[in-house]
Amino acid sequence: MEVYLDNSATTRVFPEVAELMTKIMCVHYGNPSSLHMKGIEAEQYLIYAKQTFAKILKVEEKEIFFTSGGTEADNLAIMGCAMANNRRGRHLITTQVEHPAVLNTMRHMESMGYRVTYLPVNAYGQISLEELRRQIRQDTILVSIMHTNNEIGVLQPVEEAGELIKRMNPDTLFHVDAVQGFGKAKIYPKKMRIDLLSASGHKIHGPKGVGLLYIEDKVKIQPIVHGGGQQRNIRSGTDNVSGAAGMAKAAELLYTHYEEDAKRLYEYKRYFMEGIRKLEGVWINGLIPGMPDGEGTAPHIVSVSFGGIRSEVLLHALEEDKIYVSAGSACAARKPQPSQTLKAIGIDKNLLESTIRFSFSVYTTREEIDYTLGKLYDKIPILRKYTRKG
Amino acid sequence: MFTSFLIKYAEIGVKGKNRYLFEDALVRQIKYALKKCDGEYEVHKSQGRIYVEALGEFDYDDVVDQLGKVFGISGICPVVSVEDEGFEKLCETVIKYIADVYPDRNKTFKVHSRRARKNYPKESMEINAALGEAVLGAYPEMSVDVHEPEILLNIEIREKIHIYSKVIPGPGGMPVGTGGKAMLLLSGGIDSPVAGYMIAKRGVKLDAVYFHAPPYTGERAKQKVIDLARIVSRYTGPIYLHVISFTDIQLYIYDKCPHEELTIIMRRYMMRIAEHIAQETGCLGLITGESIGQVASQTMSSMVATNEVCELPVYRPLIGFDKQEIVEVAEKIGTFETSILPFEDCCTIFVAKHPVTKPSLKVIRRHEHYLDEKIEELVRTALETDELIIVSEEQ
């Protein structure tokens, strides 16, 4: 059995998505900017994509912009808004547990003369709204908070934060990185007072190389990519028609079965965590106190620290049985330094390099979870026996 | 402009009766290297020289780059070859050659001609004088220095006339294959690829062995070793890489032997296994990247312990090198970037905080007996499951 539990790194593309994209690439391959029939044909798919996301997010079509992925969407949101609004101020707020796409963009903004406040988080990874309230100032132009943490799956109080930000300073823009949350939760930017929202295609069973940024119509933003003036001159470059339509198709499919999928995934998560707790010396990260079943966390991510075992070794040991997981998070896993989020939630130093992320998808089955738990029960005692000694 | 290359070789020129063997090997290696370049080439020996002639369009930089990786070549001279259309025409050609090759002509020079085709109307001394005069006439800023010229302008009169003056240094050494074959213990670190390179440079063909320890070392660690072997194979030709699954042996030693001696006993088994494969495949020695005192298993006492288990000579070309010196070679041959990728290798995963640095042979031998029950079987299984990967640039 092959068990892919690294769905927060990337997901398998839905067959319907691949089919639609093949058709677009091989038949309706026109450039939507062209004046002829081929161009108009292709444009229809772009319109379909925008309509789909407008409907899912309950926003206007003209507020949807396609990018090369989640990273570019985050960059465009932060840099674009910071530059366009720098006469109002040069202060930005974010959290210590953001994805590198946000964190490193913020660091870049610091080097451009902006001041950035990095909100700390508590032991389960959530920011304090009180702290956020204290940090919002007259010259705060943008707050960027992630929806779902990619490493431990905790959800930030985005709706409350939106409310608070606008109360404190109606001019402050609110960006939400929903790369991990989109497709797993219902997100309505207008209701949640979100001005900018990033999402990515390949995390939701769509293609790699495409993402989107919702930009509220009145937001002042500058392009960071210059060129032919596509997408209302905010994001130049020939439209990625197959990517956008593929991502839309994936989102459409996910949100059609949303209720039952979410219910099932939470059930699996609870079931998996119960199984994990039967092991000794393990800790599940990012659970909110008093909510051991994972309430207030994403349905698809379980972060577990296995005391006394190096995560890379456990990862390879599971790989021998075709179970694919991630050490920390995939983005951080190829670098030797330990993860930002795990450090920020203050987990024991010895557990920093002993943490594995299991992430599920709609394809995940109970059999797969049982198989994985069985292998963990077999392997953990053996791996604990052979370790580096003093 | 250049259409052929004169290959200079240093050491193989003095090999007496065996000389042709070395030259043939060099020709073979050059032909192999040129397969990676677009275009067709003729490589031939003539009168104690090797010529590489491009038979059509070719990329000069690619050819120089490839020839620069062939051991045995001490210098590469790009040559302009022209038909004999009279001496006046030759003067024009030489003047144009200088203009093309030397933008800055504030230099001393000497003309050195050789008349291999004896029916040429001028003798070599005459040619030297007349050409020198022509050059001086064209470029008054140049001057003649017959003792230490900055530009030694060679003119060879054969069927065609060949003009060359630049010498691009080659890697030196001897052509791969002239020195037999040896087994390199390749780990994925900085040192072992450099060690392999240095021995190969002496004309030795390389096989390699890598000890893989899943799940403690991952697929990426193995891929890294394959990538390193591929970089080294640019110089040595295809490398037969043996991948040995070592986990069970390692864990067994962990179970039975004192922890501080784990690394040294493990290395003894690596040497035994490497030697076994070496002898089966006709290798005449083992190569390691050890350097005295670099880590606990590379002290002189430790090397006494690891050396003891082998009958074949163990070549340790880096033995007197400092880390920085090794890094410099690694950077030069292009393995450094790959070597420093952060994947565990099997030597470090269980390493004790304080491994023995002065193991006593007697003690190690005694403790190795703790393994008597199962070790032979484990070694046999490791040898039987040897995965052979043929690594070369062309993949």
- The pLDDT score that the predictor gives to residue A332 is 47
Please answer yes or no on whether B259 and A319 come within 8 Å at the CB atom: no
Q: Is the pLDDT of residue A111 over 60?
A: yes
Number of residues in chain B:
395
CA max distance for chain B: 88
B215 and A335: CB-CB below 8 Å?
A: no
- The amino acid occupying position B98 is I
Give the Cα separation of A316 and A323 in Å (integer): 9
Rounded to whole angstroms, what are the CA distances from B260 to B265, B307, B354, B376? Answer: 10, 19, 6, 22
Instruction: Tell me which chain A residues have a C-beta less than 8 angstroms from the C-beta of B350.
Output: 386-389
Q: State pLDDT tens for residues A44-68.
A: 999 999 999 999 999 999 999 999 9
- Characterize the bridge pairing of strands B205-212 and B151-157: unpaired
Arithmetic mean of pLDDT, A65-84: 98
Q: Considering chain A, what is the average pLDDT of its residues?
A: 94
Residue among A380, A386, A336 at smallest CA distance from B266: A386
Interface predicted TM-score of the whole assembly (ipTM), two decimals: 0.81
Query: Residue B214 and residue A336: Cβ atoms within 8 Å?
Result: no
How far is B62 from B72, CA to CA, in rounded Å? Answer: 19
Reported as a pLDDT band with limits 50, 70 and 90, residue B357 is confident
Q: Report the residue of chain B nearest A311, measured CA to CA.
A: B216
The pLDDT assigned to A321 comes to 96
Residues of A in contact with B216 (CB under 8 A): 313, 316
Confidence tier at A347 by pLDDT (50, 70, 90): confident
**pLDDT tens-digit readout, B306-327:** 999 999 999 999 999 999 999 9
What is the model's pLDDT at position B350?
Answer: 74
User: Nearest-CA residue of chain A relative to B248?
Assistant: A386
| pLDDT tens digits for range B31-49 | 999 998 999 999 988 777 8
Which A-chain residues 315-344 have CB contacts (< 8 A) with chain B? 315-320, 334-336
- Please check whether residue A276 is in contact with residue A231, taking contact to mean a CB–CB distance below 8 angstroms: no
Q: Which of B215, B352, B353 sits opposite A313 (nearest CB)?
A: B215
Could you read off the pLDDT of A144-159 as tens digits, one per residue?
Answer: 999 999 999 999 999 9
Count of A-B CB contacts under 8 Å: 39
pLDDT of residue A118: 98
Could you tell me which chain B residue has the CA closest to the CA of A336?
Answer: B342
B259 touches chain A (CB under 8 A): yes
Residue-level pLDDT at A337: 62
Distance from CA of B387 to the nearest CA of A (A): 17
Q: Does A313 touch chain B if contact means CB atoms closer than 8 Å? A: yes
B214 and A CB contact within 8 Å: yes
Q: What are phi and psi of B344, to 5 degrees?
A: -65, 145
Mean pLDDT of B241-263: 94
B218 to A317: CB separation less than 8 angstroms, yes or no:
no
Write out chain A residues lying below 8 Å of B259, CB-based: 389
Interface touch B342/A390, C-beta < 8 Å: no
CA atoms within 13 A on the CB side of A121: 27
pTM: 0.86
Indicate whether B164 pLDDT > 60.
Answer: yes
Residue A116 Ramachandran class (φ > 0 left, ψ -120 to 50 alpha, else beta): beta
CA B33 centroid distance within chain: 12
Residues of A designated as active site: 331
* b/e code A251-281 from CB counts within 10 Å (16+ = b): bbbbbeebeebbebbbebbbebbebbeeeee
Q: Provide the residue type at A49 as one letter.
A: A
- How far is B301 from chain A, CA to nearest CA, in Å? 22
B218 at interface of A, judged by CB pairs closer than 8 A: yes
Query: Is residue B346 over pLDDT 60?
Result: no
Cβ of A319 and B344 within 8 Å? no
Torsion of CA A188, A189, A194, A197, to 10 degrees: 100
Q: What is the pLDDT of residue A331?
A: 46
Q: What distance in Å separates residue B251's CA from the closest CA in chain A?
A: 7
Residue A120 contacts residue A91 (beta carbons within 8 Å):
no
pLDDT at A320 over 90: yes
- Please tell me which residue of chain B has the smallest CA distance to A320: B215
The string of pLDDT tens digits covering residues B98-117 is: 999 999 999 999 999 999 88
